[in-house]
Structure 1
Amino acid sequence: MMKCIEYGHEIVALANLMPLDDSVDDLDSYMYQTQNLSYTMTQGDEVEDLYILLSKVKEQMPSVTAVSSGAIASDYQRLRVENICSRLGLVSLAYLWKQDQSLLLEEMITKGIEAITVKVAAMGLLPSKHLGKEIAHLQHYLHQLKELYGINVCGEGGEYETLTLNCPLFVNAKIVLDDFKVVHHSLDSIAPAGVLQPLTFHLEHKREFISSTSDDYDVRENGRPSIFEVEACVQHVGALCHSVTSEVVMDKDIELEVARTKRDDTFSVICWIHGSSKPSGGLQRDLATVLKKTDLLLSEEGYGWADVLYIHLYISDMNEFSLANETYVSFITEEKCYMGVPSRSTVELPLTQAGLGRAAIEVLVATDRSKKVLHVQSISCWAPSCIGPYSQATLHKEILYMAGQLGLDPPTMKLRQGGAIAELDQALENCEAVAKNFNCSLASSGIILVIYCSASMTPLEKKAIQGKINLFLKQRGFCVADNGNLRNLLDLMLLFILTSDLPKSALVEVKPILYVPKDEETESGSHMLEPSCVTTPDYWGFDHLPFDSSFCQKCVIHGKICAGSISITNDLATEICSGSLNSDTSFEDSILSIPICMRKIARFCIYLLDKSLLENQFSWEDITNLRFYFPVGSCTPSDSLFSIFRDAFDEFAVLSGRIDTDKGSIYNLVPVVGAGRSAESMDDVITCELVATKP
């Protein structure tokens, strides 16, 4: 409650559940003890009683917008409160979530919270000795028990419970216990349990009375707080379990294009609108169409949204972000995604300029249903909340796919002030907070770091962004070296994508992919093995060209992951197309030769991708996602570019026999404002991003 006030909220109501039988002091709780990472409505569960209680609060006080809970580490409690809030249209606040318990206990004591233990149930805590003691008195002893037995010093594991007798929020009086008794629930010799039952008490008025901050938020009648009693009505629970889903009919007038990678167990499906000659029906209509088509494609293969790990959502106008979300949540719901909702990145791209409608989607699918999802909808001090059917991160087969992170201050959910560099700094902090939940970090585990930059960013801000990233990479090396693992430092790949706009008009969005090994095998340095000496067939005559590797990035974990990127700059494009250009003519000047040049560039990209896959003992069948970013302002129309890449892959399939293009494309051509491997030079002709994994 004190944290709520600290972050600008007004406390307008207190809601409390209690047993109908006054003689019962302690109840078995679904909310605090159910061993599950999702919540399903259950008749007789006191969580449903809480739903009814909070429904009554909303009825009496329609202006209520949020519910605060004290969850620190309990997913079970947080998930249940979030479920209720979602159903009631309320925001869940959990400002203590993931906070260091030692620091939190110290802060409680320092800020004047006087609380006594009223229940103990842990090794080292004796009912006869420790019940009724203030937490300030027990603080040192609790830390001793933490060292001895690993208890939670804030009692988050049920080790103890407290009753607050005084705190700064008690402006008029504090509670004084006159008499109480100790009731033993268990006389276990190792971890006895007992509760304190207050018998009599009185209020002791404080010398300085501080009046209520505002009568506008004082829920009182004639100067006294209003008290409402609500009795749970279990017969309503069945009605609460009913959910309504809207049926969306796919627009048959919209021409769609679909691509799919070849893996059977982990693959990408890309769906976009093709044909600039037809007018768009608006963002919601276009998005509903591509979502419905994707839904049908998944269903045809026996899968659904529950199997999706990650979603890239591309829209044409960020001003319609809320409308896009409305459509999104009509397809992708927590009920459908019972194993956890997919993580998501959303950016605005120049889709309409490229003739690709107003919405496009790319989904990463895994068929084995072994994913681990982190989805925190509560606003906290930990990391930005994800209020809706999209999660902070999804772990699957040692790869952590993290949602795009903005530079949001977690407790306020507002962009950090100070421009692009401040937003990037906060976004990196948010990424680190999420990574910590999976026992990894950007410093030691990063494979790819995609940094989306808004087109509204100034040249000076781009330069500052690059400087911040360079500093991050330098500190990253120092951090890993301090832990003695420098030889196992992954070759983190950096991609900078210039977008039309970002959510909340942010300047930066960071999207990491990390490697999270199941065991300590990385200590052996196995991922540092040199590429095998395999001769790459040269079907198009690129072997003789004197290229260096400065335009390529690669991160390989032997036998598991092969990730790479290719930056085709103007200078490199000129070299590739030298045979097609007139002497002393740059790529940018050779407008008439563009189709010929782009064909060579497409072939060159395929040649390098094939080379990287072969050298690291991967195949085209192992690809999970393949993207080619192209600037919409280039001379080549998007229709021509699609045809050029399709023809190049078809030609490669015939020449090599190592890829099957009969069933369609395996790649995503993504229109952008710009792209590159540096924030200061996002002007590539083509930027390629590849991720391949072994089953």
Structure 2
Amino acid sequence: MSPPTQTPQATPELNVIALISGGKDSLYSILHCIRNGHKVVALANLYPSTSRQAPSTAAKGNHEHPKEEKEDEGGEEEEDIDSFMYQTIGHSVIPLYEAALGIPLYRAPSSATRSIHPSSTEENKQHLQDETESLVPLLRRIQAAHPEANAVSAGAILSTYQRTRIENVASRLGLVPLAWLWQYPVLPAPAERSTVSAVSSVVGDAGYWRIWLLAGVRRGSSRRIVNGMRRFAAPEDLRGAVLGEGGEYESLALDGPGFLWRSRIEVCETEVRTGEGGVGYVRLKGARCVPKTAAEGDGITPQSVRRPMLLDEAFARVLDEVRSVSGSYGGEAQAGSISAGRIECEPRQLRNGGIWHICNITAPEAGTEAAEQMKAIAGKIRTILQSSTDLPRSTEDIIFATVLLRSMADFASMNNTYVSLFKKPNPRQEPQWPAEMSSLKADSRQGLHVQSRSYWAPANIGPYSQAMSIPLRGAERIVYIAGQIPLEPASMQMVCDSAPTVEQSWLSGYSLRAVLSLQHMWRIGAAMQVDWWLGAVAFITGAENIAAKARVAWHIWETMNSQRDDESVDEEESTFDVWDIKYGRRAEEQTTKARVSAPIPNFEVLRSSGVIPPFLAVQVEELPRASDIEWQGLGYHCDGLELNAEEIDQGRTTKTITEQKAGYTIIEIDMEKSESDLKSSLQQILAAHTVTPALTHAVIYTTGAFPLDNWPGEVVPCKSVWGHRGSRLAAGIIFQSLEP
């Protein structure tokens, strides 16, 4: 297998304000800002205030430093080692970074109390005393001095608490948030690990940790830290503990590569101290900057800072497989077209198990303009929600939405009205077809809303989340994942194939895009603790190679959902990889008793074998950003499920039933059926699946203009539909149910 050589491409330069604590992660993030072609124009730092009740006293002006914090009677600076947001140990060294890096430094006291409300959905309810609020006047002062600044970087790796608060401040100030280390997935190269020289200041059992307080964070020491952390952290908490995300230890960067560090910081004297609760920390005295000489050149350039490969190993492997069997995707079919006849469908509602689906909302009476139709549709949805007889409902309760447009050119005109529906970061837009709307609503929910650019997965924009999950019964949760297109996460640009072959240029590029967008869905699913995919739809576009595109998508889906012969759960569990733990992919902070995420698919929950989760490929006219593929998946978190597939008179059905009796069925109606047979087939399917109170959702993807008067759910017109193994279909139908 060839290595996954694709790495993020260059992106338009951003002018970055780097939030620094002095720790290894915030300084390491600056290296990645430079590596990705951006310019760091200012450093920002909050230090602990001697008075927690006082407002910020940051100095005014372009480049003045506030008076440093007062000293106590012993002539030593006060330490605050309990901040949830910021590293404060060693803060007295921070002023030296301006000279060491040659970048203007701006500081202000953190005068607020700590907030304990980490929900990403509460961005409009920031507590007045939240620590993050001290950032606002500081960043505004920097923006006044550096009007070109348009981004802010932070060193968050697993801390949802830190990331979401910085994203909130960034959005309020019009800054692009950057979190290069978020969910950082791979082992950095040896040269990269030496690009920041740091001293560890460990917070923990002072007697045990004393030997670590002066340890450099260099090659090998991280493994020793992991072994030490085993004494204090449960396995499910170990990832965060190794990083020091919970305050287990902190570090202070003293040196780094010459392209960033003009000087190194030397410390003349150190003193180990013990605080309350056995907390140990180091006091650094006599710190000073020492200019580097030409003889000290390290030869490290920005290009030496290695970024994670674009593709995980499993996805790189399937990309190679697709490209190696390119000749097997032949049998081209002519591109389809949406029926000239209008597909009539009535507004529908389904309610069961706390789930409320509202489908097929249109507004032809509003005229032909998309913006006016969206205003009318929004009004109708508000009216429907307000009609709820059990509890008051509003658009804030919507967790998933689909907007169908005649053309992507209409998106900008309707988007202002659309986003006004959502005051919390919940749903986002999906593929585009003729103007209709369906939405889903439920009570309890958990969301994933990552706005920062990183190497992990594409950042969301505005109120559109990557995923939302809701509980059904017991511990089971259903996870709705937004459609994913092949954006490079670091640049937010469409991925480019660097070396397509002449004879298979379309396949080389398309397969990369198909694999990358599915990887995005996989990573988001892992962050939401998905065990199994109930199903997925690959939306494809174009006038050529449609059959081949559908077969490629199926090949990728089948491969990623198949258990490999060489997979061994026991081997995986017995191998403890330090750097996988340090840079593990997880979107939510884990607490005691939280489970360690299993891989997707998690075959331990499967009670059957030999069946691939259901798949549809649906040809549409256009997708966002002119993409030719978008994956949309429905994930499930559970302890057990059964998957069965069988051939039926109309074609093929694949059904998933969970231990708590939640059902997901996809029915593939063969293309060979005549028009009269298709109508008859649809009637039989309706009789078999819709006359039940257990039904929670129904959707049909179809190219035909046949009557759908009795169809109980959502209707999606499309140009062509493809199913299992890339076979051409007359229609694809999805039913979701929840048995009493």
- TM-score for both structures, normalised by structure 2: 0.68
Describe how 1:275-674 pairs up with structure 2 within 5 A: 275=364, 280-301=367-388, 302-334=392-424, 341-349=425-433, 351=434, 359-366=435-442, 369-397=443-471, 398-418=477-497, 419-441=509-531, 445-456=532-543, 458-459=545-546, 460-475=548-563, 485=604, 487-489=607-609, 492-517=613-638, 520=639, 522=640, 527=642, 548=649, 550-557=651-658, 559-573=660-674, 577=677, 598=679, 600-610=680-690, 620-631=692-703, 634=704, 636=705, 641=706, 644-646=707-709, 649=710, 666-674=712-720
Quick one: distance in 1 between partners of 2:545 and 2:538? Answer: 16
1:616-644 CA-to-partner distances (Å, cap 9, x unmatched) read xxx6322221112222xx4x3xxxx4xx3
* Superposition deviation, residue 558 in structure 1: 5.1
Q: 1:467 to 1:292 in 2, by over 3 A?
A: same
* Superposition deviation, residue 408 in structure 1: 2.0
Quick one: distance in 1 between partners of 2:401 and 2:369? Answer: 21
- How large is the RMSD of aligned CA atoms in angstroms? 3.4
Larger radius of gyration: 1
Q: 1:186 to 1:548 in 2, by over 3 A?
A: same
Name 1:93's counterpart in structure 2.
178
Quick one: distance in 2 between partners of 1:288 and 1:199? Answer: 65
- TM-score for both structures, normalised by structure 1: 0.72
Q: 1:472 to 1:144 in 2, by over 3 A?
A: closer
Quick one: distance in 2 between partners of 1:300 and 1:89? Answer: 37
Q: Contact 1:177–1:202 at 8 Å: present in 2 too? A: no
Q: 1:679 to 1:342 in 2, by over 3 A?
A: farther
Describe how 1:13-52 pairs up with structure 2 within 5 A: 13-20=42-49, 21-22=69-70, 23-26=77-80, 28-29=82-83, 31=85, 34-35=115-116, 36-38=118-120, 39=123, 40-52=125-137
Amino acid corresponding to residue 202 of structure 2 in structure 1:
V
Give percent identity, aligned residues only: 24
Q: Contact 2:345–2:708 at 8 Å: present in 1 too? A: no
Q: 1:329 to 1:528 in 2, by over 3 A?
A: closer
RCO comparison, higher one (Cα < 8 Å, 6+): 2
Q: Secondary structure at the match of 2:523?
A: helix
Name 1:12's counterpart in structure 2.
41
1:216-269 CA-to-partner distances (Å, cap 9, x unmatched) read xxxxxxxxxxxxxxxxxxxxxxxxxxxxxxxxxxxxxxx996321142621201
Q: Secondary structure at the match of 1:348?
A: coil
Q: 2:138 aligns with which of 49, 53, 72?
A: 53
Quick one: distance in 1 between partners of 2:526 and 2:537? Answer: 19
* Superposition deviation, residue 470 in structure 1: 3.9
Q: Contact 1:182–1:196 at 8 Å: present in 2 too? A: yes
Quick one: distance in 1 between partners of 2:674 and 2:232? Answer: 64
* Superposition deviation, residue 679 in structure 1: 7.5
* Superposition deviation, residue 279 in structure 1: 7.5
Amino acid corresponding to residue 37 of structure 1 in structure 2:
S
Q: Contact 2:643–2:655 at 8 Å: present in 1 too? A: no
Q: 1:423 to 1:100 in 2, by over 3 A?
A: closer
Q: Contact 1:447–1:491 at 8 Å: present in 2 too? A: no
Q: Contact 2:428–2:463 at 8 Å: present in 1 too? A: no
* Superposition deviation, residue 645 in structure 1: 2.3
Q: Contact 1:496–1:682 at 8 Å: present in 2 too? A: no
Quick one: distance in 2 between partners of 1:497 and 1:381? Answer: 29
Q: Contact 1:420–1:465 at 8 Å: present in 2 too? A: no
* Superposition deviation, residue 121 in structure 1: 1.5
Q: 1:147 to 1:559 in 2, by over 3 A?
A: closer
Confirm or deny that 1:688 pairs with 2:733. Answer: yes
Name 1:266's counterpart in structure 2.
355
Q: 1:128 to 1:605 in 2, by over 3 A?
A: closer
Q: Secondary structure at the match of 1:142?
A: helix
Q: Contact 2:115–2:127 at 8 Å: present in 1 too? A: no
Q: Contact 2:431–2:623 at 8 Å: present in 1 too? A: yes
Q: 1:126 to 1:197 in 2, by over 3 A?
A: farther
1:413-434 CA-to-partner distances (Å, cap 9, x unmatched) read 2222232211111122112211
Quick one: distance in 2 between partners of 1:148 and 1:437? Answer: 26
Quick one: distance in 1 between partners of 2:652 and 2:351? Answer: 27
> Where does the alignment leave 5 or more consecutive residues of structure 2 unmatched?
1-29, 50-68, 71-76, 87-113, 303-343, 472-476, 498-508, 571-601
Q: Secondary structure at the match of 2:732?
A: strand
Q: Tell which deviates more after alignment, 29-38 or 621-630.
A: 29-38
Quick one: distance in 2 between partners of 1:561 and 1:395? Answer: 15
Amino acid corresponding to residue 446 of structure 2 in structure 1:
K
Q: Secondary structure at the match of 1:285?
A: helix
Q: Contact 2:363–2:373 at 8 Å: present in 1 too? A: no
1:583-611 CA-to-partner distances (Å, cap 9, x unmatched) read xxxxxxxxxxxxxx74x34423313425x
Amino acid corresponding to residue 64 of structure 1 in structure 2:
A
Name 1:537's counterpart in structure 2.
none
Name 1:234's counterpart in structure 2.
none
Describe how 1:75-224 pairs up with structure 2 within 5 A: 75-99=160-184, 103=187, 110-117=193-200, 119-123=201-205, 128-136=210-218, 138-150=221-233, 151=238, 152-168=241-257, 169-186=259-276, 188=278, 192-207=279-294
* Superposition deviation, residue 187 in structure 1: 5.9
Q: 1:159 to 1:480 in 2, by over 3 A?
A: closer
Amino acid corresponding to residue 496 of structure 2 in structure 1:
Q
1:524-558 CA-to-partner distances (Å, cap 9, x unmatched) read xx636999xxxxxxxxxxxxxx9546432322235
The number of residue pairs the alignment matches comes to 552
Q: Contact 2:362–2:437 at 8 Å: present in 1 too? A: no
* Superposition deviation, residue 682 in structure 1: 4.6
Q: Secondary structure at the match of 1:690?
A: strand
Quick one: distance in 2 between partners of 1:423 and 1:447? Answer: 23
Q: Secondary structure at the match of 1:347?
A: coil
Quick one: distance in 2 between partners of 1:476 and 1:154? Answer: 32
* Superposition deviation, residue 456 in structure 1: 4.5
Quick one: distance in 2 between partners of 1:677 and 1:556? Answer: 20
Quick one: distance in 1 between partners of 2:536 and 2:566? Answer: 19
